[in-house]
Amino acid sequence: MIRSRSHVTLVMALAISGPLVCRLTAQTPQPTEYEVQAAYLSNFGRFVEWPAGTAKDPFYVCVLGQDPFGSLLDTALKGEFIAGAPMAAKRIAGPGEAASCRIIYVNPSKDTQIRNVLAGLRNTAALTVSDSADFIRLGGMVQFVLNGNRVRFEINLAAAQRAGLTLSSELLKVAAAVRRAP
Amino acid sequence: MIRVRSYSIRQKLTSMNMLVSGAALLLACAAFAVYELTYFRTTLVQSLSIQAQIVGANSASALLFNDPDSARNTLSALKAAPNISSAGIYTPAGQPFAIYARDPDNQVSYLSIPIVSPEAWKFVGNELILVRVIEFQGKRVGIVQIHSDLSEIRAGLERYAGIVAVVLAVSLLAAFLFSSIFQKTTAQPIAQLAETARVVSREKKYSVRAPVPETRDEIGDLIEAFNEMLAQIQARDTALQTARDELELRVERRTAQVEAVNKELESFTYSVAHDLRAPLRHIQGFSDALIEECARQLDETAKGYLNRIVDSTRRMDQLISDLLGLAHVGRQELHLQPVSLHRLARDVIRDMEHEIQGRNIEWRIGDLPVLDCDPGLMKQVLYNLLSNAVKYTRPRDPAVVEVGQTATEGHRVIFVRDNGVGFNMKYVHKLFGVFERLHRREDFEGTGVGLATVQRIIHKHGGRIWAEAEVDRGATFYFTLGSHENS
């Protein structure tokens, strides 16, 4: 009785579930690494206390450097809102264009370039994210890591605080590692 | 119903109290039980809902960042709630994301009931299942399902039922005790009143009183009024008894007086009659001597006077001896013995041989009984009645004198009937008076004492005498011997 009903429930739940989370959790096919990263990028903004102002502007998630997502990021952000602001993707060439960005995905070619980019973004209140190794060590805030075949992330809390961003404990809870000291 | 009616007031009051308080308590307890049950369920659903919300809020990031470990961590906090048997976090598609089970064997990893946003619950068997959609910033990020074990709550309800039963029992006991106490002020006085009334009606004893209760209520008034009534009856009873005693005493005294006077009168009569005889004898003696010795010296006129004197003295002597007889009857003791009236009548007729010489008399002596009476006195009765009959039939030829018995109202009646001159019934009341005569002495001699003597004798025997007559058609005398009569 219960078993048969649970099947019905499952079918119903599948029918009404959203496409994004479906991709996130679907057993087949396994989502790609960049699909997961794009989804995470659409969610980070929800766990950050943003400084006041610029309410009417879209919530920009910027990609600095070469774009590894293609249309994946645009798809992930489509229809999502944070504090009433619609989310949108933006490709920028350098820190100079980062003024309206809330989240900046940094995809540099070299470590030296990372250092330069982060230095250029020092006065921007944006969450910096990258999947480069040493990103945290170099002063980045969120760094994607692969834990087995699962995409996780580490957090540099000191860097975020320096930029005036307060990260939710809920976010810290699900982080693979949190670096608190500068 | 009949059994209830025959209960005493005390039992009725007790059962009434018990029924009322029992019904009130049962209703109250039932209301409380229903309230408690709904309250328990509501509270349980609420607390489970809150737990689901907390779990949901704390697992939103885990869902969004695909971290089942963190979600499991969150779920493991449910260990603190012993009633939660299992819980699970599911993706919006219903895929299990993180599962918690208190007992690993009872792990549930599927959604048990349809999801209705924001939550749905269902009592299934011994479980409450609650499913809640996890929303994060307006976004549906997953589903939480919690199973709560109701056995503890059921045990609580059973405990509650036990307490209710104990409270009910104790309350009924208390009601019983209280009603017993209050009965002292209501049922007990009524019972005592009823008992007193029973004693009064059974033993006719008006000196008892119902105990008056201390409380001033209608029952107290009733009992006081009852006692007051008893007092009045008692007073009246006493007065009545006193009056009766007094009356009896007075009657006794009066009877004694009457008897004394009667005796006095009789002895007076006797002595007068006796004393009158002595001078009369002298007159008689000297008159006889005068006739015998001095007859030659007297002329015819004087002789005529002298004869009249002799006649008068003879009549006076007769009168005196009749009076003496009458007085004697009064003083004489009755010597009762069986007497054949038939034989007695024959004796009397033989004794009257002298009187009836030369008369043509037809005697009809019927079948006469043997009666218990004084033979001497009864002979006097028959003699008087028969000689009267002979006397007043003198003008008849033949004279018919009948003696017989008849019966009226179940009593034996003896009668003496003649076909003589009779008398006017107008004067029948004078018939038995002393010296009363209904005929002139010139026609029929007599002293007027005979019937009075007869009546006295009959009365002395406890009997009755009466007469019926018609002028020139004869007379009939009837008598009974009352209680001395022998059937």
Give per-residue pLDDT as tens, B225-235: 999 999 999 99
Residues 6+ apart with CB under 8 A from B110: A3, A6, A9, A10, B94, B96
In chain B, what are the domains? 2-179 (3.30.450.20), 207-331 (no CATH), 335-484 (3.30.565.10)
On whether any CB of chain A is under 8 Å from the CB of B126, the answer is no
On whether any CB of chain B is under 8 Å from the CB of A157, the answer is no
d(CA A137, CA A115): 10
- pLDDT, mean of residues A35-46: 92
Query: Quick one: pLDDT band at residue B413, thresholds 50, 70, 90?
Result: very high
Contact B137 A43 (CB under 8 A): no
Computed over every residue of chain B, the mean pLDDT equals 86
Q: Is residue A11 part of a domain?
A: no
Q: Is residue A175 part of a domain?
A: yes
Contact A10 B138 (CB under 8 A): no
Q: Is residue A165 part of a domain?
A: yes
The pair of structure tokens assigned to A140 is 């980045």
Query: Quick one: pLDDT band at residue B243, thresholds 50, 70, 90?
Result: very high
* Closest of A68, A162, A58, A70 to residue A106, by C-alpha: A68
Query: Quick one: pLDDT band at residue A29, thresholds 50, 70, 90?
Result: low
- Per-residue pLDDT, A10: 39
Query: Quick one: pLDDT band at residue A13, thresholds 50, 70, 90?
Result: very low
**With contacts defined as CB-CB under 8 Å, which chain A residues touch B90?**
13
pLDDT tens profile A131-174: 888 899 988 999 999 988 889 999 999 999 888 899 999 999 99
Residue A58, classified by CB atoms within 10 Å of its CB into exposed (0-12), middle (13-18) or buried (19+), is middle
In this prediction the pTM is 0.52
Contact A14 B93 (CB under 8 A): yes
Whether residue A21 has pLDDT greater than 60: no
Whether residue A26 has pLDDT greater than 70: no
- Give the strand pairing for B127-136 and B139-149: antiparallel
pLDDT tens profile A48-107: 988 765 556 788 999 998 888 989 999 999 988 888 888 999 999 888 888 888 999 998
Q: Is residue A80 part of a domain?
A: yes
- pLDDT, mean of residues B298-318: 87
Q: Is residue A21 part of a domain?
A: no
Question: Chain A residue with minimal CA distance to B60?
Answer: A170
Q: What CATH code is carried by the domain that includes residue A45?
A: 3.40.50.2300
- Per-residue pLDDT, A17: 40
On whether any CB of chain B is under 8 Å from the CB of A153, the answer is yes
Query: Quick one: pLDDT band at residue B3, thresholds 50, 70, 90?
Result: low
d(CA A167, CA A153): 14
Q: Looking at A8-22, A35-49, A57-71, B385-399, which range is the least confident one?
A: A8-22
Query: Quick one: pLDDT band at residue B312, thresholds 50, 70, 90?
Result: confident
The partner residue sitting opposite B64, judged by closest CB among A12, A13, A43, is: A43
Residue A80: give the domain boundaries.
30-179
Measured distance between the N- and C-terminal CA atoms of chain B, rounded to whole angstroms: 63
The partner residue sitting opposite B112, judged by closest CB among A6, A40, A80, is: A6
Residue B308, classified by CB atoms within 10 Å of its CB into exposed (0-12), middle (13-18) or buried (19+), is exposed
Q: Total structural domains in chain A? A: 1
Q: Looking at A22-26, B376-380, B422-426, which range is the least confident one?
A: A22-26
Contact B111 A8 (CB under 8 A): no
- Give the strand pairing for B361-365 and B399-408: parallel
Q: How many CA atoms does the CB half-sphere of B106 hold within 13 Å?
A: 12
Measuring CA to CA, how many Å separate B3 from each of B11, B14, B376? 11, 15, 77
Contact A9 B115 (CB under 8 A): yes
Q: Is residue A49 part of a domain?
A: yes
**CB–CB of B483/B461 below 8 Å?**
no
Q: Which of A24, A144, A172 to mutate to test the interface with B (most CBs of B within 10 A)?
A: A24
Contact B91 A171 (CB under 8 A): no
**CB–CB of B197/B226 below 8 Å?**
yes
pLDDT tens profile B129-163: 999 999 988 888 999 999 998 887 788 778 888 88
The pair of structure tokens assigned to B13 is 């009051």
**With contacts defined as CB-CB under 8 Å, which chain B residues touch A81?**
138
pLDDT tens profile B177-217: 888 887 777 778 888 888 888 988 898 888 888 888 777 78
pLDDT tens profile B248-296: 999 999 999 998 998 888 788 778 777 888 888 888 888 888 888 888 8
Q: Is residue A13 part of a domain?
A: no
Q: Is residue A52 part of a domain?
A: yes
Whether residue A2 has pLDDT greater than 50: no
**With contacts defined as CB-CB under 8 Å, which chain B residues touch A47?**
61
